[in-house]
Amino acid sequence: MQINLLAVGKLKEKYWKGAVEEYSKRLSSYCKVNVVEVADEPTPDNASAAQEEQIKKKEAEKLLAKIGDRDYVIALAIQGKNLTSEEFADHLDKMASSGYSTFTFIIGGSLGLHETVLQRANHKLSFSKFTFPHQMVRVILLEQVYRAFRIQRGEPYHK
């Protein structure tokens, strides 16, 4: 199984990089992990709604170019569905049983994801109605994917 994490922007802080590396290492026993960063577009202060839409569209084009035709795409979006860790594990397991072998998770930039990315997504996932820093979401996502594998295999993991 292949897990792709597509994200707008780069991780800069060592502690976020370290956490992503740690969960990527833990996941290596279960799957291949590929983290791909696409450049974020500069957003001027007081950008108009039209400017923000153009920025999201440019970021979307970069993201969509990295998605395979047969990928099962999960977009992280506030308006997505909230799942428990067990439900998430079950969802991934069902999709793998349905023939998907590549799961691509997409984390947008500070303005969120463009509608074209949301339309391409097979599933929209929300971790909370809170807004989190995008760097933190990468870590939360990889931790939840790791937890999902542990749950699927009946392996112990703290609750």
Name the band, by pLDDT with cuts 50, 70 and 90, for residue 157. Answer: confident
| pTM to 2 decimal places | 0.95
Tell me whether residue 108 is annotated as binding.
yes
28 located within any domain? yes
Question: Can you give the CATH number for the domain in which 133 is found?
Answer: 3.40.1280.10
Domain coverage including residue 6:
2-152
Model confidence over 105-118: pLDDT tens digits?
999 999 999 999 99
11 located within any domain? yes
158 located within any domain? no
159 located within any domain? no
Name the band, by pLDDT with cuts 50, 70 and 90, for residue 159. Answer: low
Cα angle value 99/100/103 (rounded, 5°)? 170
Q: Average pLDDT, whole number, for the chain?
A: 95
In 3D space, the residue among 46, 62, 72 whose CA is nearest the CA of residue 108 turns out to be: 62
157 located within any domain? no
SS (HEC) of the chain: CEEEEEEECCCCCHHHHHHHHHHHHHHCCCCEEEEEEECCCCCCCCCCHHHHHHHHHHHHHHHHCCCCCCCEEEEEEEEEEECCHHHHHHHHHHHHHCCCCEEEEEECECCECCHHHHHHCCEEEECCCCCCCHHHHHHHHHHHHHHHHHHHCCCCCCC
106 located within any domain? yes
Tell me whether residue 118 is annotated as binding.
no
124 located within any domain? yes
In 3D space, the residue among 102, 105, 101 whose CA is nearest the CA of residue 143 turns out to be: 105
In 3D space, the residue among 126, 129, 75 whose CA is nearest the CA of residue 103 turns out to be: 75
Model confidence over 21-49: pLDDT tens digits?
999 999 999 999 999 999 999 999 999 99
Length of the chain: 159
31 located within any domain? yes
**CA gap 83, 128 in Å, rounded:** 10
For the chain, how many structural domains are there in total? 1
